[in-house]
Amino acid sequence: MSETAGAPRLAFRLRRDGLFPRILVAIGLSMLCAAVLVALAGHNPLTAFRAMLAGALGSPYQIGTVLNRTCPYLLAGAGLALCFRAGVINMGSDGQIAMGGIGTAATVLAWPGPPTVITAIAALIAAILCGGLWAAVATAIHLGRRVHEVLVTLLLNFVALLFVQLVLSGPLGQPGAGFLQSPAMPRAVWLWRVPHFYFHIGILIGVFASLALSFLLWKTPWGFAIRVTGRSRAAAAYAGFSTAAVTWGVMLTAGGLAGLGGGVEILGLHHRLIEGFSTGFGFKAVTVALLGALEPAAVIPAALFVGLLETGALAMQRQIGVPSALVVVIEGITMLFILTATVRRA
Protein backbone atom coordinates (compact mmCIF):
# COMPACT_ATOMS: atom_id res chain seq x y z
CA MET A 1 0.00 0.00 0.00
CA SER A 2 1.54 3.24 -0.95
CA GLU A 3 1.09 6.49 0.82
CA THR A 4 0.15 9.60 -0.98
CA ALA A 5 0.39 13.01 0.59
CA GLY A 6 -2.86 12.75 2.49
CA ALA A 7 -2.56 9.07 3.19
CA PRO A 8 -4.00 7.74 6.38
CA ARG A 9 -1.82 7.77 9.40
CA LEU A 10 -2.71 6.04 12.56
CA ALA A 11 -4.25 8.47 14.95
CA PHE A 12 -4.57 7.07 18.41
CA ARG A 13 -6.39 10.07 19.73
CA LEU A 14 -5.39 9.55 23.27
CA ARG A 15 -6.89 11.70 25.90
CA ARG A 16 -4.59 11.75 28.87
CA ASP A 17 -7.36 12.33 31.36
CA GLY A 18 -9.94 9.66 31.90
CA LEU A 19 -8.13 7.10 29.79
CA PHE A 20 -7.16 4.59 32.44
CA PRO A 21 -10.65 4.39 33.95
CA ARG A 22 -11.95 3.61 30.49
CA ILE A 23 -9.39 0.87 30.05
CA LEU A 24 -10.51 -0.64 33.35
CA VAL A 25 -14.11 -0.54 32.16
CA ALA A 26 -13.05 -2.26 28.95
CA ILE A 27 -11.36 -5.02 30.93
CA GLY A 28 -14.44 -5.39 33.11
CA LEU A 29 -16.78 -5.66 30.12
CA SER A 30 -14.65 -8.27 28.43
CA MET A 31 -14.55 -10.31 31.64
CA LEU A 32 -18.31 -10.20 31.58
CA CYS A 33 -18.32 -11.54 28.02
CA ALA A 34 -15.88 -14.23 29.11
CA ALA A 35 -18.19 -15.21 31.96
CA VAL A 36 -20.98 -15.72 29.43
CA LEU A 37 -18.71 -17.92 27.32
CA VAL A 38 -17.74 -19.98 30.35
CA ALA A 39 -21.38 -20.39 31.26
CA LEU A 40 -22.08 -21.49 27.68
CA ALA A 41 -19.51 -24.21 28.13
CA GLY A 42 -21.52 -25.42 31.09
CA HIS A 43 -19.24 -24.22 33.86
CA ASN A 44 -19.78 -21.81 36.68
CA PRO A 45 -17.98 -18.57 35.77
CA LEU A 46 -17.19 -17.82 39.40
CA THR A 47 -15.55 -21.19 39.90
CA ALA A 48 -13.62 -20.69 36.68
CA PHE A 49 -12.34 -17.26 37.63
CA ARG A 50 -11.43 -18.48 41.09
CA ALA A 51 -9.45 -21.32 39.56
CA MET A 52 -7.79 -18.80 37.30
CA LEU A 53 -6.77 -16.55 40.15
CA ALA A 54 -5.53 -19.39 42.27
CA GLY A 55 -3.61 -20.80 39.34
CA ALA A 56 -1.84 -17.51 38.80
CA LEU A 57 -1.18 -16.35 42.33
CA GLY A 58 -1.63 -19.44 44.46
CA SER A 59 2.00 -20.15 45.15
CA PRO A 60 5.37 -18.45 44.75
CA TYR A 61 6.13 -20.80 41.88
CA GLN A 62 2.96 -19.73 40.12
CA ILE A 63 3.76 -16.07 40.65
CA GLY A 64 7.15 -16.78 39.15
CA THR A 65 5.43 -18.40 36.17
CA VAL A 66 3.33 -15.27 35.69
CA LEU A 67 6.44 -13.08 35.71
CA ASN A 68 8.23 -15.31 33.20
CA ARG A 69 5.25 -15.25 30.90
CA THR A 70 5.00 -11.48 31.19
CA CYS A 71 8.58 -10.94 30.17
CA PRO A 72 8.52 -11.14 26.33
CA TYR A 73 5.18 -9.27 26.20
CA LEU A 74 6.64 -6.47 28.26
CA LEU A 75 9.83 -6.12 26.23
CA ALA A 76 8.04 -6.18 22.88
CA GLY A 77 5.04 -4.16 24.10
CA ALA A 78 7.08 -1.29 25.51
CA GLY A 79 8.83 -0.93 22.16
CA LEU A 80 5.49 -1.03 20.37
CA ALA A 81 4.16 1.73 22.60
CA LEU A 82 6.97 3.87 21.24
CA CYS A 83 6.21 2.85 17.64
CA PHE A 84 2.51 3.60 17.98
CA ARG A 85 3.27 6.94 19.62
CA ALA A 86 5.18 7.80 16.47
CA GLY A 87 2.29 6.58 14.32
CA VAL A 88 4.30 3.62 13.05
CA ILE A 89 2.18 0.49 13.22
CA ASN A 90 4.72 -2.23 13.71
CA MET A 91 2.90 -5.55 13.62
CA GLY A 92 6.11 -7.50 13.29
CA SER A 93 6.93 -8.38 16.90
CA ASP A 94 6.25 -12.05 16.19
CA GLY A 95 8.99 -12.16 13.61
CA GLN A 96 11.33 -9.91 15.53
CA ILE A 97 11.03 -12.10 18.64
CA ALA A 98 11.62 -15.20 16.53
CA MET A 99 14.74 -13.67 15.01
CA GLY A 100 15.99 -12.75 18.47
CA GLY A 101 15.56 -16.37 19.48
CA ILE A 102 17.55 -17.55 16.47
CA GLY A 103 20.32 -15.05 17.23
CA THR A 104 20.56 -16.26 20.79
CA ALA A 105 20.50 -19.93 19.94
CA ALA A 106 23.05 -19.53 17.17
CA THR A 107 25.41 -17.59 19.42
CA VAL A 108 25.27 -20.12 22.22
CA LEU A 109 25.53 -23.16 19.98
CA ALA A 110 28.36 -21.73 17.93
CA TRP A 111 30.25 -20.36 20.92
CA PRO A 112 33.93 -21.36 20.74
CA GLY A 113 35.18 -22.68 24.02
CA PRO A 114 33.31 -23.36 27.23
CA PRO A 115 30.11 -21.35 27.72
CA THR A 116 30.17 -18.71 30.46
CA VAL A 117 28.17 -15.69 31.51
CA ILE A 118 29.89 -13.81 28.72
CA THR A 119 28.26 -16.25 26.31
CA ALA A 120 24.85 -15.39 27.70
CA ILE A 121 25.48 -11.67 27.40
CA ALA A 122 26.76 -12.06 23.86
CA ALA A 123 23.72 -14.17 23.06
CA LEU A 124 21.37 -11.49 24.32
CA ILE A 125 23.22 -8.83 22.33
CA ALA A 126 22.87 -11.06 19.28
CA ALA A 127 19.16 -11.27 20.04
CA ILE A 128 18.90 -7.48 20.04
CA LEU A 129 20.83 -7.25 16.79
CA CYS A 130 18.79 -9.92 15.03
CA GLY A 131 15.45 -8.45 16.16
CA GLY A 132 16.66 -5.02 15.10
CA LEU A 133 17.84 -6.38 11.78
CA TRP A 134 14.44 -7.92 11.06
CA ALA A 135 12.79 -4.61 11.91
CA ALA A 136 15.33 -2.88 9.68
CA VAL A 137 14.34 -5.07 6.73
CA ALA A 138 10.72 -4.04 7.23
CA THR A 139 11.62 -0.39 7.67
CA ALA A 140 13.78 -0.34 4.55
CA ILE A 141 10.97 -1.80 2.43
CA HIS A 142 8.40 0.48 4.04
CA LEU A 143 10.33 3.72 3.69
CA GLY A 144 12.21 2.89 0.53
CA ARG A 145 9.31 1.48 -1.44
CA ARG A 146 6.35 3.09 0.30
CA VAL A 147 4.72 -0.22 1.17
CA HIS A 148 2.49 0.08 4.22
CA GLU A 149 4.37 -1.01 7.33
CA VAL A 150 1.48 -3.17 8.56
CA LEU A 151 1.58 -5.30 5.47
CA VAL A 152 5.37 -5.62 5.38
CA THR A 153 5.71 -6.51 9.03
CA LEU A 154 2.83 -9.00 8.94
CA LEU A 155 4.17 -10.78 5.87
CA LEU A 156 7.68 -10.83 7.31
CA ASN A 157 6.32 -12.56 10.42
CA PHE A 158 5.44 -15.61 8.37
CA VAL A 159 8.84 -15.60 6.74
CA ALA A 160 10.54 -15.38 10.15
CA LEU A 161 8.49 -18.21 11.63
CA LEU A 162 9.35 -20.40 8.65
CA PHE A 163 12.96 -19.33 9.02
CA VAL A 164 13.00 -20.69 12.57
CA GLN A 165 11.76 -24.02 11.22
CA LEU A 166 14.36 -23.87 8.49
CA VAL A 167 17.31 -23.39 10.86
CA LEU A 168 15.91 -25.99 13.25
CA SER A 169 15.65 -28.49 10.42
CA GLY A 170 19.29 -27.72 9.58
CA PRO A 171 22.20 -26.13 11.39
CA LEU A 172 20.57 -25.44 14.76
CA GLY A 173 18.41 -28.51 14.95
CA GLN A 174 18.70 -31.50 17.23
CA PRO A 175 18.62 -34.52 14.96
CA GLY A 176 16.35 -37.29 16.01
CA ALA A 177 14.36 -35.23 18.49
CA GLY A 178 11.17 -35.95 16.61
CA PHE A 179 10.34 -32.34 17.13
CA LEU A 180 11.75 -29.17 15.58
CA GLN A 181 14.01 -27.94 18.35
CA SER A 182 17.63 -27.13 19.03
CA PRO A 183 19.83 -29.05 21.43
CA ALA A 184 19.49 -27.91 25.04
CA MET A 185 21.68 -25.03 26.13
CA PRO A 186 24.35 -25.52 28.75
CA ARG A 187 23.42 -24.43 32.25
CA ALA A 188 26.09 -21.76 32.24
CA VAL A 189 24.07 -19.57 29.89
CA TRP A 190 20.73 -19.93 31.63
CA LEU A 191 19.44 -16.71 33.07
CA TRP A 192 19.68 -16.52 36.84
CA ARG A 193 16.47 -17.43 38.58
CA VAL A 194 15.28 -15.96 41.82
CA PRO A 195 15.25 -18.79 44.37
CA HIS A 196 11.92 -19.99 45.66
CA PHE A 197 9.93 -18.05 43.02
CA TYR A 198 11.86 -19.47 40.07
CA PHE A 199 11.34 -16.44 37.88
CA HIS A 200 14.31 -15.40 35.81
CA ILE A 201 15.78 -11.93 35.69
CA GLY A 202 14.26 -11.20 32.30
CA ILE A 203 11.38 -9.44 34.01
CA LEU A 204 13.83 -7.02 35.60
CA ILE A 205 15.32 -6.28 32.19
CA GLY A 206 11.79 -5.66 30.94
CA VAL A 207 10.88 -3.30 33.75
CA PHE A 208 14.11 -1.41 33.32
CA ALA A 209 13.60 -1.12 29.55
CA SER A 210 10.03 0.15 29.97
CA LEU A 211 11.04 2.79 32.46
CA ALA A 212 13.91 3.84 30.22
CA LEU A 213 11.58 4.18 27.24
CA SER A 214 9.14 6.20 29.32
CA PHE A 215 11.94 8.54 30.29
CA LEU A 216 13.02 8.77 26.66
CA LEU A 217 9.51 9.57 25.50
CA TRP A 218 8.80 12.32 27.98
CA LYS A 219 12.15 13.79 28.95
CA THR A 220 14.21 13.94 25.79
CA PRO A 221 13.99 15.99 22.59
CA TRP A 222 13.89 12.74 20.66
CA GLY A 223 10.84 11.63 22.60
CA PHE A 224 9.23 14.95 21.78
CA ALA A 225 9.97 14.34 18.12
CA ILE A 226 8.27 10.94 18.40
CA ARG A 227 5.18 12.43 20.02
CA VAL A 228 4.90 15.21 17.44
CA THR A 229 5.45 12.81 14.52
CA GLY A 230 2.69 10.53 15.76
CA ARG A 231 0.19 13.32 16.00
CA SER A 232 0.94 15.17 12.79
CA ARG A 233 3.52 14.31 10.17
CA ALA A 234 3.13 17.77 8.65
CA ALA A 235 3.85 19.46 11.96
CA ALA A 236 6.84 17.19 12.50
CA ALA A 237 8.32 18.15 9.14
CA TYR A 238 7.66 21.80 9.96
CA ALA A 239 9.39 21.36 13.31
CA GLY A 240 12.42 19.96 11.51
CA PHE A 241 11.96 16.35 12.60
CA SER A 242 12.60 13.76 9.94
CA THR A 243 9.77 11.24 9.77
CA ALA A 244 12.16 8.73 8.24
CA ALA A 245 14.65 9.15 11.08
CA VAL A 246 11.94 8.84 13.71
CA THR A 247 10.55 5.75 11.96
CA TRP A 248 13.99 4.14 11.83
CA GLY A 249 14.55 4.99 15.46
CA VAL A 250 11.33 3.54 16.85
CA MET A 251 11.42 0.49 14.56
CA LEU A 252 14.98 -0.40 15.52
CA THR A 253 14.25 0.19 19.20
CA ALA A 254 11.12 -1.93 19.11
CA GLY A 255 12.76 -4.59 16.96
CA GLY A 256 15.78 -4.76 19.25
CA LEU A 257 13.63 -5.03 22.35
CA ALA A 258 11.39 -7.66 20.77
CA GLY A 259 14.52 -9.58 19.77
CA LEU A 260 15.76 -9.31 23.33
CA GLY A 261 12.40 -10.64 24.45
CA GLY A 262 12.99 -13.67 22.22
CA GLY A 263 16.51 -14.16 23.58
CA VAL A 264 15.35 -13.91 27.17
CA GLU A 265 12.59 -16.41 26.47
CA ILE A 266 15.16 -18.89 25.19
CA LEU A 267 17.82 -18.41 27.87
CA GLY A 268 15.40 -17.94 30.73
CA LEU A 269 12.56 -20.33 30.04
CA HIS A 270 12.96 -22.93 27.31
CA HIS A 271 16.75 -23.26 27.35
CA ARG A 272 16.53 -24.24 23.73
CA LEU A 273 15.09 -22.85 20.51
CA ILE A 274 11.70 -24.41 19.78
CA GLU A 275 9.58 -24.22 16.66
CA GLY A 276 6.82 -21.62 16.98
CA PHE A 277 7.94 -20.43 20.42
CA SER A 278 6.99 -16.84 19.51
CA THR A 279 3.69 -17.50 17.72
CA GLY A 280 1.06 -15.01 18.82
CA PHE A 281 3.44 -12.94 20.93
CA GLY A 282 3.19 -10.07 18.47
CA PHE A 283 -0.48 -9.60 19.11
CA LYS A 284 0.01 -9.83 22.87
CA ALA A 285 2.58 -7.08 22.51
CA VAL A 286 0.06 -4.93 20.63
CA THR A 287 -2.52 -5.70 23.31
CA VAL A 288 -0.31 -4.69 26.22
CA ALA A 289 0.89 -1.58 24.40
CA LEU A 290 -2.71 -0.43 23.96
CA LEU A 291 -3.77 -1.60 27.41
CA GLY A 292 -0.94 0.54 28.72
CA ALA A 293 -2.30 3.50 26.77
CA LEU A 294 0.97 3.64 24.80
CA GLU A 295 2.77 4.73 27.93
CA PRO A 296 5.85 2.48 28.24
CA ALA A 297 5.78 2.57 32.05
CA ALA A 298 2.11 1.63 32.09
CA VAL A 299 2.87 -1.31 29.82
CA ILE A 300 4.39 -2.99 32.91
CA PRO A 301 1.05 -3.54 34.71
CA ALA A 302 -0.65 -4.24 31.37
CA ALA A 303 1.83 -7.00 30.55
CA LEU A 304 1.53 -8.40 34.09
CA PHE A 305 -2.22 -8.51 33.66
CA VAL A 306 -1.99 -10.48 30.44
CA GLY A 307 0.66 -12.78 31.91
CA LEU A 308 -1.55 -13.39 34.91
CA LEU A 309 -4.57 -14.06 32.75
CA GLU A 310 -2.75 -16.62 30.66
CA THR A 311 -1.06 -18.45 33.51
CA GLY A 312 -4.38 -18.56 35.30
CA ALA A 313 -6.16 -19.83 32.22
CA LEU A 314 -3.83 -22.77 31.86
CA ALA A 315 -4.53 -23.72 35.47
CA MET A 316 -8.24 -23.28 34.83
CA GLN A 317 -8.05 -25.64 31.88
CA ARG A 318 -6.20 -28.23 33.93
CA GLN A 319 -8.52 -28.02 36.89
CA ILE A 320 -12.01 -27.59 35.52
CA GLY A 321 -11.60 -28.12 31.81
CA VAL A 322 -12.51 -24.72 30.44
CA PRO A 323 -10.37 -24.36 27.30
CA SER A 324 -7.51 -21.93 27.84
CA ALA A 325 -8.23 -20.37 24.44
CA LEU A 326 -10.70 -18.34 26.47
CA VAL A 327 -7.83 -16.01 27.26
CA VAL A 328 -7.35 -15.18 23.61
CA VAL A 329 -11.04 -14.33 23.41
CA ILE A 330 -10.76 -12.12 26.50
CA GLU A 331 -7.77 -10.35 25.00
CA GLY A 332 -9.54 -9.82 21.71
CA ILE A 333 -12.70 -8.48 23.31
CA THR A 334 -10.73 -6.23 25.67
CA MET A 335 -8.92 -4.79 22.68
CA LEU A 336 -12.18 -4.14 20.84
CA PHE A 337 -13.60 -2.33 23.85
CA ILE A 338 -10.42 -0.31 24.26
CA LEU A 339 -10.44 0.59 20.59
CA THR A 340 -14.01 1.81 20.78
CA ALA A 341 -13.54 3.59 24.11
CA THR A 342 -10.30 5.43 23.56
CA VAL A 343 -10.35 6.40 19.95
CA ARG A 344 -13.77 7.92 19.78
CA ARG A 345 -13.49 11.62 19.20
CA ALA A 346 -13.96 13.63 22.36
Partner 1 sequence: MAALLEMRGIVRCYGKLRANDGIDLDVHAGEIVGLLGENGSGKSTLMKVLFGMVPPDGGGIVFRGKELAGHRPGDAMAAGIAMIHQHFMLVEAMTVVENVMLGWKESGWWLGRHAMAARIRETSERFGLALDPFARVADLPLGRRQRIEILKAVLREAELLILDEPTSNLAPSEVTELLAILRRLRQDGKGIVFITHKLPEVMAVCDTVTVLRAGKVSGRAPVAGASRAGLAGMMVGRDVTAPQILGEIAPGPIRLDIQGLSGPGLGPIDLTLRGGEILGIAGVDGNGQLELAETLAGLRRATAGRISLDGQEITRATVNARMQAGLAYMPADRSSTALVRSMTIADNLMLRDSRRAPYRRHGLLAGRAGLTKAKALMQRFDIRAPSPATPASRLSGGNQQKIVIARELDRNPAVLIAHQPTWGLDPGATHFVLERMIALRDAGACVIYISSELEEVLSISDRVAVIAGGTIAGIMARAAIDMPQLGLWMSGRAA
Partner 2 sequence: MIDFLAAAIRIATPLIFAALGGILSERAGVFAVGLEGMMLMGAFSAVIGAWASSSAAVGLLLAVLGGGAIGLIVAIVTVRYRADNMVTGLTANILALGLTTYLLHILAGTAAIQVDPLGPWPIPGLSRIPVAGPLLFSHPPLTYLAVLGCAGLSVLLFRTQTGLLLRATGENPEAVFVAGADPQRLRMIAVISCGAIAGLGGAVLSLQQVGTFTDGMTGGRGYLALASLIVGRWHPWGAAAACLVFGAAEALEFRLQGFGIPVSSYVVQMMPYLIAIAVLAGLGRSTKLPAFIGKPL
Residues 278-317: x where in contact with partner 2 by CB under 8 A, - otherwise, as a string = --x--x--x---x---------------------------
Choose the one of partner 1, partner 2, none that binds residue 39, judging by a C-beta under 5 to 8 angstroms depending on kind.
none
Asked if residue 228 binds partner 2 (CB under 8 A), the reply is: no
Find the binder of partner 2 among 71, 102, 156, 306 (CB under 8 A). 156
Residue type, position 215, single letter: F
Please, which of residues 190-219 interact with partner 1 by CB under 8 A? 218-219
Asked if residue 228 binds partner 1 (CB under 8 A), the reply is: yes
Please, which of residues 243-282 interact with partner 1 by CB under 8 A? none
User: CB neighbours of 42 closer than 8 A, spacing ≥ 6?
Assistant: none
Asked if residue 166 binds partner 2 (CB under 8 A), the reply is: yes
Asked if residue 234 binds partner 2 (CB under 8 A), the reply is: no
Asked if residue 244 binds partner 2 (CB under 8 A), the reply is: no
Supply angle C-alpha 201, 203, 205, rounded to 5. 75
Reference 305, options 46, 77, 123; nearest CA is: 77
Asked if residue 232 binds partner 1 (CB under 8 A), the reply is: yes
Burial class (CB in 10 A: 0-12, 13-18, 19+), 336: middle
* Cα 243 to Cα 230: distance, rounded to the nearest angstrom: 9
* Cα 278 to Cα 183: distance, rounded to the nearest angstrom: 18
Choose the one of partner 1, partner 2, none that binds residue 224, judging by a C-beta under 5 to 8 angstroms depending on kind.
partner 1
Question: Left if phi > 0, otherwise alpha if psi is -120 to 50, otherwise beta: which for 178?
Answer: left
Give the binding site for partner 1 (CB under 8 A): 13, 218-221, 223-225, 227-228, 231-232, 234-235, 237-240
